[in-house]
Amino acid sequence: MTRTVSVAAIQTAYGSDMAANIAKTEAFVREAAAKGAQVILPSELFQGEYFCVSQEEKWFATAFAWREHPAVLAMQTLARELDVVIPTSIYEKEGPHYFNSLVMIDAGGELMGVYRKSHIPDGPGYQEKYYFRPGDTGFKVWDTRFAKVGVGICWDQWYPEAARAMALQGAELLMYPTAIGSEPHDSELNTAAPWQRIMQGHAVANVMPVIASNRIGTESLISPQNGAGQTFYGHSFIANHRGDKVAEFGAGEEGVLVAQFDLDFLNTHRAAWGFFRDRRPELYTALASPRPAL
């Protein structure tokens, strides 16, 4: 029997109330499941407003151990009820360490493990190095009930190496929960198009679908660089193995995107392209090594 999977991306705005944000996400997960989605992706740190616009120590109190995070407990209950997979982005505390993390919750509610964001940005409006250590888990792929899923978190999406690392581990889908929007230092800068294009490239290079969920709206937290809240540009999308966008939101729409893929076809098609057959890791290693002085 042909293996197919139906995936969904959630796009919405969030406020300062964690319980309300979780409840809002639950409603969209239910909507996606009602449309047949089996693997459903909320956006990055959906429990609250994106707090990394500035450096304030009060936000450390909003981190939890990953097995105890309110968002994880809520999504675990929902995954058990609806029999769906929910990659769940959280602010994680482990002992004295803090991470931007994702917990993979399988259909039936099993907590499959945690991935900690590898690439941590630091710039106007995105001061994440103050809050998060670089991840120590390495890139991960989970063999969920419906597909083998690799997930990178936001800034990870700009790195082709991250996508390839997950593909080499057997990923069949790449997912990217995100919080990205305006650039406080440059009101003319809009990265929505290149943000999509880099991930469409991952789809082409690895011959697999890419699913990206972003938030929308202007949030109330103030960025000292411009004295205004951050505005997130949405444009969540689902791309097929060719990089073609098969579903997409604009800058202000709320809802769920759903698409279905034939995993058996994709596995065969990926082999036929030969990208993994023709790799030359020994050459890459040699080229990356320091050259002797002339």
SS3 264: helix
* Residue 152 CB coordination number (10 Å): 29
> Whole-prediction pTM value?
0.95
Output Rg (C-alpha) for the chain, integer angstroms.
19
- Model confidence band, residue 293 (pLDDT cutoffs 50, 70, 90): low
Strands 245-248 and 255-262, bridge-based pairing: unpaired
Which of 266, 247, 260 lies closest to 37 in space, CA to CA? 260
Which of 197, 210, 195 lies closest to 259 in space, CA to CA? 210
Across 146-155, average pLDDT:
98
Interatomic CA distance for residues 56 and 248, integer angstroms: 34
Q: What pLDDT sits at residue 185?
A: 81
Across 22-31, average pLDDT:
98
Q: Which of residues 95 and 291 earns the better pLDDT score?
A: 95
- Model confidence band, residue 7 (pLDDT cutoffs 50, 70, 90): very high
Catalytic residue positions, numbered: 44, 117, 154
CB 196 within 8 A of CB 157: no
**Edge-to-edge strands of the sheet including 86-94?**
86-94, 97-105, 111-116
Interatomic CA distance for residues 218 and 236, integer angstroms: 16
Least confident stretch, 198-212, 225-239, 261-275: 225-239
Residue 139 phi/psi, 5-degree rounding, is -75, 145
- Model confidence band, residue 107 (pLDDT cutoffs 50, 70, 90): very high
- Model confidence band, residue 1 (pLDDT cutoffs 50, 70, 90): confident
Checking if the pLDDT of 97 tops 70, the result is: yes
Checking if the pLDDT of 180 tops 90, the result is: yes
